[in-house]
Amino acid sequence: MIWSVRGLIAELRWTFNAISIGVGILLFAIWVGLDGHYPPLGQLFSKTPPPPAAPWNPFQFFGDASALGWGIVALRILGTSLVVPPIEEAFYRSLMYRSIAQPEFEKFPINQFSMKAFLITSIIFGLVHPNQWIAGILCGLAFQWLALRKGDLGEAMVAHGITNLLLGIYVVVKGAWQFW
C-alpha cells in the first residue's frame, strides 16, 4: 500500500542526512535510557497498580533459536523500521498536525508552526506508547520538529526508522522484550 501511494503524497520521501540519522540515534538512546525511570500510564493514577505483564518473547514461545522465532523477529524489525515510519509520520506529522492547526488541513503547509498542534500531536503520539509514554512524547516532539524543518516527512521517517531499527536490535541482543 505504501509503495502504491508514494507518488500521491509529496512529502513522503525518505531523507537520509546527518541530522535525521543523528536524531534517530539520540532518540533510541533516550528511549532505552529512560526505561524504568517513570511508571507506565496504567500505573500512573492507580493506587494499586496491576502486576506488569510478562513481555512476549518469540523464542520462549516458539523455542530457542527456532526459525519461526527468528522469522517473527525479522518481520518485527523490518516492519517497525520500514513500514511503521511512513504510516505514522503521514498520520501524526501531516494529517493530525495539520488537521489540529486548521480544519481544512490541506491548506495548512506542513512547515508552518502551530504550538497547539505541535504539543497535541506529540502528546498523543506518546500516549499510544503507554509503557514508554514520556519517551514517546519526546520522540513526537523531535519527529514533528524534523517535519517542520524541511516541510516534508523524509527526515522524520528516517529518524523514526533508525530509532526503531536500533531498538529492535537492542531488544534481541539484550533480551529487552519489554520494549516490544
Question: Is residue 47 domain-resident?
Answer: no
Summarised one tens digit per residue, pLDDT across range 89-132 is 999 999 999 999 999 999 999 999 999 999 999 999 999 999 99
What CA–CA distance (Å, rounded) separates 101 from 86?
21
Cβ proximity of 180 and 171 under 8 Å: yes
Provide the 8-state DSSP code for 55.
Answer: P
Count of the separate structural domains present in the chain: 1
| Domain presence at residue 4 | no
In a domain, 171, yes or no: yes
Mean pLDDT (whole number) for 138-142: 98
* Residue 114 within a domain: yes
Q: Which three cell numbers stand for residue 116?
A: 497547539
Q: How much is the pLDDT for 49?
A: 66
Is residue 50 assigned to a domain? no
CB-based contacts of 118, cutoff 8 Å, min separation 6: 97, 141, 144, 148
Q: Is residue 148 part of a domain?
A: yes
Q: At what angle do helices 154-174 and 67-78 cross, to 10 degrees?
A: 160
Residue 73 — very low, low, confident or very high, per pLDDT cuts 50/70/90? very high
Which grid coordinates are listed for 46? Answer: 492507580
60: number of Cβ within 10 Å: 12
Taking only Cα atoms into account, the Rg of the chain, rounded to an integer number of angstroms, comes to 17
Look up residue 166 and give its three cell numbers: 536500533
Residues 21-43 have pLDDT tens digits of 999 999 999 999 999 999 998 88
Mean pLDDT, all residues of the chain:
92
Q: Domain range holding 161? A: 15-37+57-179
Tell whether 27 is covered by a domain.
yes
5 located within any domain = no
